[in-house]
Amino acid sequence: MSQPIYDRIALIGLGLIASSMFWAIKRSGLAGEVTGYARSPETRNKAREIGLCDRICDSAVEAVEGADLVVLCVPVGAMGPVMQDIASALKPGATVSDVGSVKRNVIEAVLPHIPKGVHFVPAHPLAGTEHSGPESGFAELYDNRWCLLVPVEGSDPEAVARLRALWEGIGANVDEMEADHHDLVLAVTSHTPHLIAYTMVGVADDLRRVTDSEVIKYSAAGFRDFTRIAASDPTMWRDVFLSNKEATLEILGRFTEELFALQRAIRTGDGEHLHDYFTHTRAIRRGIIEAGQDTDAPDFGRGQSAAKTIGTEK
Amino acid sequence: MSQPIYDRIALIGLGLIASSMFWAIKRSGLAGEVTGYARSPETRNKAREIGLCDRICDSAVEAVEGADLVVLCVPVGAMGPVMQDIASALKPGATVSDVGSVKRNVIEAVLPHIPKGVHFVPAHPLAGTEHSGPESGFAELYDNRWCLLVPVEGSDPEAVARLRALWEGIGANVDEMEADHHDLVLAVTSHTPHLIAYTMVGVADDLRRVTDSEVIKYSAAGFRDFTRIAASDPTMWRDVFLSNKEATLEILGRFTEELFALQRAIRTGDGEHLHDYFTHTRAIRRGIIEAGQDTDAPDFGRGQSAAKTIGTEK
């Protein structure tokens, strides 16, 4: 058990990210008390039922009262309104942070409502699964994943250092990044891949000549990796695309340009172009394995558990 | 141990697919003897070194002599020439099969060279990993995966049934499908997803403002699932796209159409369109889990092994 880093932490929004934060904070004793609030009564009840947070409050204002750290864990589009709600209830000297996948837009929505004497340190933990909701969290989600801190102009260095200590205590590696650069990097590593995955899954579903059951039965050939990405929370992703519009559209433009070049190579039978392209992309995979951001086990090492799941079908 | 289904099986080409077949055949004693041949001497030596196949031959002709089943496990573009090579050495009554990811094109390349009295039963096991080469195989690769048989006009029902028994013995579920339909289904579930993944990885690599190291470090946000697909064997995939040109281009056309619609929704801020689309795609993921073709464990259950891999980095 570490020394508590904050006496009281309030988590606003209780989905995958917040619930995983809670279990990781508990694991290492990083806070004296963790309060929680979610807009829906069902979520609050579920949270109480499974012991999520030390205390679930029926209003955001109640949850943030006396908190040294308030973390906004709501979809990006809800950050501004939530912040407006809690502004007057914040303890002087407290830090407000968030976990949004987009930073420029969140900063613009949240910063104007931050009271004098309260610190705002935006953050973005790069971790997730295809599951959502208060029951989907687990303490290991952030272990060895990256959390990006995006301090705004005038962010108090001490408040930044304390938040860094929290995320390191949770298990993450921490980096700092400028907001616009963050949004471009994430457009490449996350937002555009998600949009593409959603699109491919939509295409598959839409094809009447290829029945649903065929698409599902034969998904192991590559398609199922797209479906995992495309099973992520719809509200969260709608907000991400609407609020990181510019960078996403830019990367999408690059993507279709490249795709058309490969499409043309297929049409004209230019095997050399295809082979060169495919050889080049292999090296990137190698880099990710070496950086410890994925497993080298074949098929993500899921063969075993998948086989178990379907033991009755054979 | 089952009863051997074939006295002698010859595997031509010794990559992931053939080597996994060998280990699965051994696991269940499905053949008296398995011979193997690969074009490159390095591959043949490696195979001998790791005990892959009962006997490695220095020519394809030698490997197929006396074989009751010959399985062509070479890239789709090499199937025709290899078949031409071995045609005169085939045992009367033998069955020739293949494992190519495209069927119409392979049938057109191979069938004209099949001697009278020899059966041709095309097949396609839907399984793979991002690894390739003789050392990448493992006996469990096909467990509960699908193998599609694509009998041609006049395929001997007994030869088909025997090949089915082999694949079931190897651990796969077996279905039969017509060649053109197979090529369309696979364009949706495999070929187009692969092309898209290759493209996205290429785009990421090409962006000078987002350094390689950032793309790799922050890949866990979605991108890394694309890199796994895009690490597959370049020669195999070049041949797949060149030989399933028509269906791939058709699905690609559908894909870009849908992508442009989503892109437009982002540009115009149509959140409802995005939310509806993303909600719909979730159901497909559910279907794949229920069909036993993937694990429901968060993040494919790879959290544990990935954490182990990088234990030293923290």
**What confidence category does residue B229 fall into, taking pLDDT thresholds of 50, 70 and 90?**
confident
Q: Residue A83 and residue A274: Cα distance in Å, rounded?
A: 50
Q: Could you write out the three-class secondary structure of B54-94?
A: CEECCCHHHHHCCCCEEEECCCHHHHHHHHHHHHHHCCCCC
Can you give the pLDDT at residue B283?
A: 78
Q: What is the pLDDT along chain A (314 residues), one digit of tens a residue?
A: 567 999 999 999 999 999 999 999 999 999 999 999 999 999 999 999 999 999 999 999 999 999 999 999 999 999 999 999 999 999 999 999 999 999 999 999 999 999 999 999 999 999 888 888 999 999 999 999 999 999 998 889 999 999 999 999 999 999 999 999 999 999 999 999 999 999 998 898 877 777 778 888 888 777 888 888 888 889 999 999 999 999 999 999 999 999 999 999 999 999 999 999 998 888 777 777 777 777 676 655 554 333 333 222 22
Are the beta carbons of B271 and A238 separated by less than 8 Å?
yes
Query: What percentage of chain B has pLDDT greater than the value 90?
Result: 74
Considering only CA atoms, which of A131, A168, A226 is closest in space to residue B229? Answer: A226
**Distance from A92 to chain B by nearest Cα, in Å?**
34
Q: What tokens appear for A218 in the block?
A: 């034969």
pLDDT of residue A307: 33
What confidence category does residue B205 fall into, taking pLDDT thresholds of 50, 70 and 90? confident
If contacts are CB pairs under 8 Å, which of residues 82-141 in chain B contact chain A? 101, 126-131, 136, 138, 140-141
| Cβ neighbour number for residue A93 with a 10 Å cutoff | 11
A40 shares contact with chain B (CB less than 8 Å): no
Residues of B in contact with A266 (CB under 8 A): 195, 241-242, 245, 248-249
- B37 phi/psi in degrees, rounded to 5: -145, 140
Q: Which two tokens stand for residue B108?
A: 């057109």
Q: Which of A20, A54, A23 lies closest to A37 in space, CA to CA? A: A54
Q: Is the pLDDT of residue B234 over 70?
A: yes
pLDDT of residue B1: 54
Max CA separation in chain B (angstroms): 67
CA gap B79, B73 in Å, rounded: 8
Average the pLDDT over each of A147-151, B60-64, B184-188, B229-233 and give the range with the smallest value.
B229-233
Tokens 């791939």 appear where? B248
* pLDDT for res A303: 43
Distance of CA A212 to the CA centre of its chain: 29
Residues 190-249 of A with CB under 8 A from B: 190-207, 209-210, 212, 214-232, 234-235, 237-239, 241-242, 245, 248-249
Confidence tier at B154 by pLDDT (50, 70, 90)? confident
Residue scoring higher pLDDT (B305 or B17) = B17
Residues of B in contact with A141 (CB under 8 A): 298, 303
Strand positions, DSSP E, chain B: 6-12, 31-37, 55-56, 69-72, 95-98, 119-120, 123-125, 146-149, 173-176
A208 phi and psi, to 5 degrees?
A: -75, -25
Q: Could you tell me which of A216, A154, A145, A148 has the C-alpha nearest to residue A177?
A: A148
Check CB contact of A23 with chain B, cutoff 8 Å: no
A189: contact with B, CB 8 A cutoff: yes
Task: Provide the sign of the torsion angle of the four alpha carbons A208, A210, A214, A219, taken in this order.
Answer: negative
The residues that bridge with A176 in the sheet, in sequence order, are A149
Q: Is pLDDT of B301 > 70?
A: no
Strands A119-120 and A31-37, by their bridges, are unpaired
If one compares B178 and A302, the residue with the highest pLDDT of the two is B178
A contacts of B193 (beta carbons < 8 Å): 200, 222-223, 225-226
Enumerate the residues of chain B whose CB falls inside 8 A of the CB of residue A293: 216-217, 219-220, 224, 306, 310
Q: What is the average pLDDT value for chain B, to the nearest integer?
A: 90
- pLDDT value at residue A1: 54
Contacts of B28 (CB under 8 A, 6+ apart): B1, B2, B169, B170
Residue A244 identity (one-letter amino acid)? N
Per-residue model confidence (pLDDT) at position B77: 94
Q: How far is CA A132 from CA A13, A43, A129, A235, in A?
A: 12, 11, 8, 11
- Residue A204, pLDDT score: 86
Mutation target for A interface from B198, B207, B218: give the one with most A CBs within 10 A: B218
The mean pLDDT of B139-162, rounded to a whole number, is 95
Buried b (16+ CB within 10 A) or exposed e, B241-271: bbbbbbbbeebbebbbebbeebbebbeeebb
Note whether B149 contacts A: Cβ–Cβ < 8 A.
no
Q: What does the pLDDT look like over B46-56, one tens digit per residue?
A: 999 999 999 99
Domains of chain B with bracketed CATH = 6-177 (3.40.50.720), 181-269 (1.10.3660.10)
Task: In whole angstroms, give the CA distance from residue A109 to residue A79.
Answer: 7
Q: What is the pLDDT of residues B239-290, one digit of tens each?
A: 999 999 999 999 999 999 999 999 999 999 999 999 999 988 887 777 777 7
pLDDT tens, residue by residue, B102-143: 999 999 999 999 999 999 999 999 988 888 899 999 999 999
Q: Determine, for residues A278 and B203 on separate chains, whether the beta-carbon distance falls below 8 Å.
A: no
* Residues A309 and B292 sit within 8 Å (Cβ to Cβ): yes
Smallest Cβ–Cβ distance between B295 and the set A190, A216, A309 belongs to A309
pLDDT at B182 over 80: yes
Contacts of B300 (CB under 8 A, 6+ apart): A228, A300, A301, A302, B294
Mean pLDDT of B214-219: 84
Chain A contact for B153 (CB, 8 A cutoff) = no
- Of the two residues B91 and A279, the one the predictor is more confident about is B91
| Interatomic CA distance for residues B166 and B146, integer angstroms | 13
Residue B33 has pLDDT above 70, yes or no: yes
State the ipTM, two decimals.
Answer: 0.84
Q: How many residues does chain A have?
A: 314
